[in-house]
């Protein structure tokens, strides 16, 4: 069900991309934006893991520096049939975690020092299982693809502000001045909403997969409850500077006052916890 929903959302992004190109600049405007977005996202595909880890000042750790964390990830990777990912710690009091990497062979998981401080071993296993489920489901790749289309649509809107896409030549190619203005205003918003929905659907899938991988849905449910409260009290400082990376984290790292909360990439926490509790009840 999650895969079908994601496919439908990706199809919606593709359709929006084509409509935006046609309205803003006809065939030439669409191709120019596509080439621009593909170039950026090609780089991101190969380097996004390093870039985001550097952005948050993550440091790689091994069994000697973080025996409990590395031991849990090792056991969960074995259970999930995954290659052992690289393990990182982010020195930040805000409790959170994320996974990155273009595929399971090039994956990394990162946890903040705040998360390690407040979670029990079982809760930590639930969180790391959630992140490894993202890796197993190749959610990072899905996010990259959706970002490609969303970025291309936004680029078209920006080009419409600084170029002559509404010229007679553009109209002859199929562009439409009024439609272009509307798309310039509405396309980035629509792309953000669709990208948000893609991320939300994948969070539910990672909750389900993580609960199965660690063996007890209530471990993850308990962890989410603590992380929700903790992240509200202590927002992740770097995420406030780079809100576009918020979708990577297991819980929304942004402060409640942030405008970016209007476009939260995370489903309601109460619903996530309720789903996990229901899963645990069904296993009895």
18, 214 contact by CB (below 8 A): no
Which residues neighbour 199 within 8 Å (Cβ) at sequence distance 6 or greater? Answer: 143, 146, 247, 265, 266
3-state helix, strand, coil in the chain (%, to 5): 75, 5, 20
Question: If DSSP codes are grouped into helix, strand and coil, which group holds residue 173?
Answer: coil
Question: If DSSP codes are grouped into helix, strand and coil, which group holds residue 66?
Answer: coil
Distance CA 20, CA 35 (A): 15
Clarify whether 131 is annotated catalytic: yes
Q: Which residue has the tokens 């948050």?
A: 56
Q: Which residue has the tokens 């669409």?
A: 30
Residue 143: which of 82, 99, 92, 189 has the closest Cα? 99
- Given the residues 68, 105, 122, 131, the one annotated as active site: 131
Going by the DSSP 8-state scheme, the letter that residue 87 receives in this structure is E
Residue spans of beta strands (DSSP E) within the chain: 59-60, 86-90, 97-100, 108-112
Distance CA 209, CA 41 (A): 28
What string of DSSP letters covers 94-133? S--EEEE-SSGGG-EEEEEHHHHHH--HHHHHHHHHHHHH
Going by the DSSP 8-state scheme, the letter that residue 174 receives in this structure is T
∠ Cα 101 104 107 (to 5°)? 35
Q: Extract the tokens encoding 148.
A: 């490609």
Catalytic residue IDs: 131
């Amino acid at each position: 069900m999650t895969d079908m929903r994601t496919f439908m959302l990706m199809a919606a992004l593709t359709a929006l991309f084509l409509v935006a190109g046609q309205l803003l600049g006809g065939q030439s405007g669409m191709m120019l934006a596509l080439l621009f977005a593909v170039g950026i996202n090609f780089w991101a595909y190969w380097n996004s893991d390093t870039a985001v880890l550097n952005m948050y000042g993550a440091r790689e750790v091994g069994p000697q520096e973080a025996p409990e964390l590395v031991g849990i990830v090792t056991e969960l990777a074995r259970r999930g049939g995954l290659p052992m990912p690289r393990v990182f710690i982010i020195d930040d009091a805000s409790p959170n975690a994320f996974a990155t990497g273009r595929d399971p062979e090039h994956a990394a998981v990162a946890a903040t020092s705040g998360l390690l401080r407040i979670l029990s071993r079982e809760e930590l296993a639930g969180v790391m299982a959630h992140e490894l489920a993202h890796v197993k489901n190749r959610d990072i790749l899905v996010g990259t693809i959706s970002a490609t289309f969303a970025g291309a649509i936004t680029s078209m809107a920006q080009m419409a502000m600084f170029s002559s896409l509404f010229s007679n030549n553009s109209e002859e190619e199929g562009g439409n001045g009024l439609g272009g203005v509307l798309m310039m205003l509405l396309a980035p918003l629509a792309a953000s909403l669709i990208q948000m929905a893609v991320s939300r659907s994948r969070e539910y899938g990672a909750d389900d997969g993580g609960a199965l991988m660690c063996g007890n849905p209530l471990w993850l449910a308990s962890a989410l409850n603590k992380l929700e409260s903790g992240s509200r009290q202590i927002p992740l400082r770097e995420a406030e500077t780079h809100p576009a990376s918020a979708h990577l984290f297991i819980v929304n790292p942004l402060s409640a006052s942030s405008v970016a909360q209007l476009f939260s990439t995370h489903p309601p926490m109460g619903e996530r916890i309720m789903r996990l509790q229901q899963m645990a009840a069904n296993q009895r």
